[in-house]
């Protein structure tokens, strides 16, 4: 019988499609409430990113509810749903008193929107099961709800509820009651609302179409600009290619083997040059004629070579030689007296080393300048020739030979010597009879 009644009633009461938006701050309980209305368990819900949509049949209404994400960054999308909404469900977390100010600001912004103002609004003061949750009156006061709805000529109903109390048939009756109130309110003013929504949605769609065209024009412009730049680059590349064909680029890099060989040749050339210089320095310009010249030449070569090797060493040797010569000079000065006072051996040594000169004087041989040619002291050790320094001339004095017949003959040009006198004219000079 009931079915028959409803069957007959249906043609009289046309089915009305109604769209609702469910908004409020994040964590307020919107999705939990929507799930409960739909007959699903409201627990284990996750924050909504974007929106979720539920459809339900309520009497003569085919209801579509857009459950929109309440996060700060998502609230911007809310306005896109205002035009087609017949009414609003605003969910408040009554247990979160700290966010009441934010809730009020959000609600104010919502109600003052031209596509919301004048439309019916259901406020659900949710989470009443939680201890310390604000009562209905407190929520009204915190949100200045009366003032707000009056300002924006919105029909308003507030219900205290708990979304997690149950779902389906066991859903909190306050939620069902609030939903009935909203649908009835819409039904009461349905035609007006319907015309407004038609108009708003048309405008909204036109606006969206315009935005779409503008976006397409921007994309087209960007694409054309990019294609123009690509063509310019292609033209530049072709121009570069033609230039490259005309003038082949010489590769500045060489194989490493070629570079090594080149360097080796340079080193070899430099070595040869140095060798040639060395040889040129070592070859004497004229052959030394005498022994002394040879020695001097060798000394010069040695000195010259050494000059190339170490000039600093020359200075050192100079100093050493000078010092040595000074020492010898001192010794030479002391030598005559020592030689005279010393024994026969020292006398013999002196005879051996002494260079004697003689002059003929009335058929007599007279030694002269014996002191000047006094040899160095035998006690003085021969100087060690410094490395890299020419042999000093003092060590190259002519060798003193003993005076003999051959030498005497040479001296007198093979003439017979005069007979020796019984008494020597220079008896003090024993050196003449050595
Ligand atoms: N105690 C209690 N917890 C609730 C109630 N309603 C929702 N919750 C819990 O509150 C948390 C947030 O619920 P949601 O439904 O996700 O909140 P929302 O408004 O959809 O949040 P957004 O999607 O981020 O905007 C969940 O852990 C729910 O279980 C309620 O009435 N009482
Ligand atoms: Mg949600």
Ligand with an atom nearest the CA of residue 126: 1
Determine whether the annotation assigns residue 27 to a binding site: yes
Residue whose token pair is 């054309």: 224
Number of Cβ atoms within 10 Å of the Cβ of 172? 25
Residues with CB under 5 Å of ion ligand 2 are 30-31, 48
Ligand with an atom nearest the CA of residue 163: 1
Determine whether the annotation assigns residue 48 to a binding site: yes
CA-nearest residue for atom 30, ligand 1, is: 127
The CA dihedral of 235, 240, 246, 248, to the nearest 10 degrees, is -160
Ligand 1 atom closest to 163 (CA): 31
Which is nearest to 76 in space by CA: 102, 51, 47? 51
Distance, CA 28 to ligand 2 centroid (Å)? 8
Q: Are 134 and 94 in contact (CB under 8 A)?
A: yes
Ligand 1 atom closest to 128 (CA): 31
Determine whether the annotation assigns residue 354 to a binding site: no
Sign, Cα dihedral of 71, 76, 82, 83: negative
Distance, CA 118 to ligand 2 centroid (Å)? 26
CA 14 to chain CA mean position, Å: 76
Distance, CA 127 to ligand 2 centroid (Å)? 14
Residue whose token pair is 């919105």: 154
Question: 21, 24, 31, 44: which to mutate for ligand 1, most atoms within 8 A of CB?
Answer: 31
CA-nearest residue for atom 9, ligand 1, is: 29
Query: In whole angstroms, what is the distance from residue 155 CA to residue 120 CA?
Result: 5
pLDDT, residue 425, reads 44
Question: 38, 41, 45: which to mutate for ligand 1, most atoms within 8 A of CB?
Answer: 45
Determine whether the annotation assigns residue 359 to a binding site: no
Question: 89, 159, 163: which to mutate for ligand 1, most atoms within 8 A of CB?
Answer: 163
Distance, CA 27 to ligand 1 centroid (Å)? 5
Query: In whole angstroms, what is the distance from residue 114 CA to residue 196 CA?
Result: 11
pTM for the full predicted model: 0.56
Ligand with an atom nearest the CA of residue 106: 1
pLDDT, residue 395, reads 46
pLDDT tens per residue across all 434 residues of the chain: 333 444 444 556 678 999 999 999 999 999 999 999 999 999 889 999 999 999 999 888 999 999 999 999 999 999 999 999 999 999 999 999 999 999 999 999 999 999 999 999 999 999 999 999 999 999 999 999 999 999 999 999 999 999 999 998 899 999 999 999 999 999 999 999 999 999 999 999 998 899 999 999 999 999 999 999 999 998 888 887 777 676 666 677 778 888 899 999 999 999 999 999 888 776 654 444 444 545 544 544 444 454 444 455 555 556 666 666 666 555 555 544 444 344 444 444 444 444 555 555 555 555 555 444 444 444 444 444 444 444 444 445 555 555 544 444 445 445 555 555 444 444 444 443 43
Q: Where are the beta strands (DSSP E) in 69-177?
A: 87-93, 121-126, 156-160
Vertex 274 angle, CA 273 and 276, to 5°: 65
CATH number of 16-193: 3.40.50.300
Which is nearest to 91 in space by CA: 52, 123, 49? 123
Ligand with an atom nearest the CA of residue 32: 1
Q: Are 334 and 376 in contact (CB under 8 A)?
A: no
Distance, CA 165 to ligand 2 centroid (Å)? 17
Query: In whole angstroms, what is the distance from residue 92 CA to residue 169 CA?
Result: 23
Q: Is ipTM beyond 0.95?
A: yes
What would the DSSP string read from start to end of 66-94? Answer: EEE--STTTGGGGGGGTTT-SEEEEEEET
Determine whether the annotation assigns residue 87 to a binding site: no
pLDDT, residue 286, reads 46
Determine whether the annotation assigns residue 251 to a binding site: no
Tell me the two tokens of residue 8: 């007959």
Distance, CA 42 to ligand 1 centroid (Å)? 8
- Residue 411, classed as helix, strand or coil, is helix
pLDDT, residue 225, reads 94
pLDDT, residue 239, reads 81
Distance, CA 113 to ligand 2 centroid (Å)? 22
Q: Are 162 and 37 in contact (CB under 8 A)?
A: no
Ligand 1 atom closest to 70 (CA): 25
Determine whether the annotation assigns residue 126 to a binding site: yes
What would the DSSP string read from start to end of 339-378? Answer: HHHS-HHHHHHHHHH---EEEESSS-EEEE-TTTTPPPPT
Ligand 1 pocket list (CB less than 6 A)? 24, 26-32, 43, 45, 47-48, 69-71, 91, 126-127, 129-130, 162-164
Determine whether the annotation assigns residue 24 to a binding site: yes
Determine whether the annotation assigns residue 70 to a binding site: yes
Distance, CA 79 to ligand 1 centroid (Å)? 22
Contacts 24+ apart (CB under 8 A), 115-118: 115/79, 115/82, 115/83, 115/85, 115/200, 115/204, 116/82, 116/85, 116/88, 116/152, 116/154, 117/152, 117/153, 117/154, 118/152, 118/153, 118/154, 118/196
Distance, CA 102 to ligand 1 centroid (Å)? 17
Which is nearest to 48 in space by CA: 91, 83, 108, 3? 91
pLDDT, residue 345, reads 44
């Amino acid at each position: 019988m009931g079915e028959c009644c409803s069957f007959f009633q249906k043609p009289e009461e046309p089915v009305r499609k109604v769209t609702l938006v469910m908004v409020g701050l994040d964590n307020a309980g919107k999705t939990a409430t929507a799930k409960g209305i739909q007959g699903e368990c409201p627990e284990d819900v996750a924050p909504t990113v974007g929106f979720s949509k539920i459809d339900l049949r309520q009497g003569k209404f085919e209801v579509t509810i857009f459950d929109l994400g309440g996060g700060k960054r998502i609230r911007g999308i809310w306005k896109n749903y205002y035009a087609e909404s017949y009414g609003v469900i605003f969910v408040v977390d009554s247990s979160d008193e700290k966010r009441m100010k934010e809730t009020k600001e959000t609600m104010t912004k919502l109600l003052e929107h031209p596509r919301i103002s004048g439309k019916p609004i259901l406020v659900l003061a949710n989470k009443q099961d939680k201890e310390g949750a604000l009562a209905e009156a407190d929520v009204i006061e915190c949100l200045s709800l009366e003032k707000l709805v009056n300002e924006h000529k919105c029909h308003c109903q507030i219900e205290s509820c708990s979304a997690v109390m149950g779902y389906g048939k066991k859903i909190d009756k306050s939620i069902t009651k609030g939903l009935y109130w909203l649908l009835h309110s819409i039904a009461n003013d349905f035609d007006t609302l319907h015309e407004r929504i038609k108009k708003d949605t048309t405008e909204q769609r036109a606006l969206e179409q315009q935005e779409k065209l503008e976006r397409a024009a921007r994309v087209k412009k960007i694409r054309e600009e990019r294609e123009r730049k690509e063509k310019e680059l292609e033209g530049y590349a072709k121009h570069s290619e033609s230039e490259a064909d005309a003038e082949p680029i010489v590769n500045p890099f060489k194989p490493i083997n070629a570079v090594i060989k080149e360097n080796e040749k340079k080193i070899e050339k430099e070595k040869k040059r140095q060798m040639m210089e060395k040889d040129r320095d070592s070859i004497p310009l004229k052959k030394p004629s005498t022994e002394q010249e040879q020695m001097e030449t060798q000394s010069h070569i040695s000195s010259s070579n050494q000059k190339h090797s170490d000039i600093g060493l020359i200075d050192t040797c100079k100093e050493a030689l000078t010092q040595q010569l000074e020492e010898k000079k001192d010794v030479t000065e002391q030598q005559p007296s020592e030689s005279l006072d010393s024994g026969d051996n020292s006398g013999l040594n002196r005879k051996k080393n002494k260079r004697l000169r003689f002059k003929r004087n009335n058929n007599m041989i007279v030694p002269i300048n014996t002191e000047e040619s006094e040899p160095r002291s035998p006690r003085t050790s021969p100087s060690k020739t410094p490395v890299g320094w020419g042999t000093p001339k003092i060590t190259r004095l002519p060798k003193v030979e003993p005076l003999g017949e051959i030498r005497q003959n040479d001296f007198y040009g093979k003439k017979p010597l005069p007979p020796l006198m019984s008494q020597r004219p220079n008896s003090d000079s024993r050196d003449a009879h050595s």
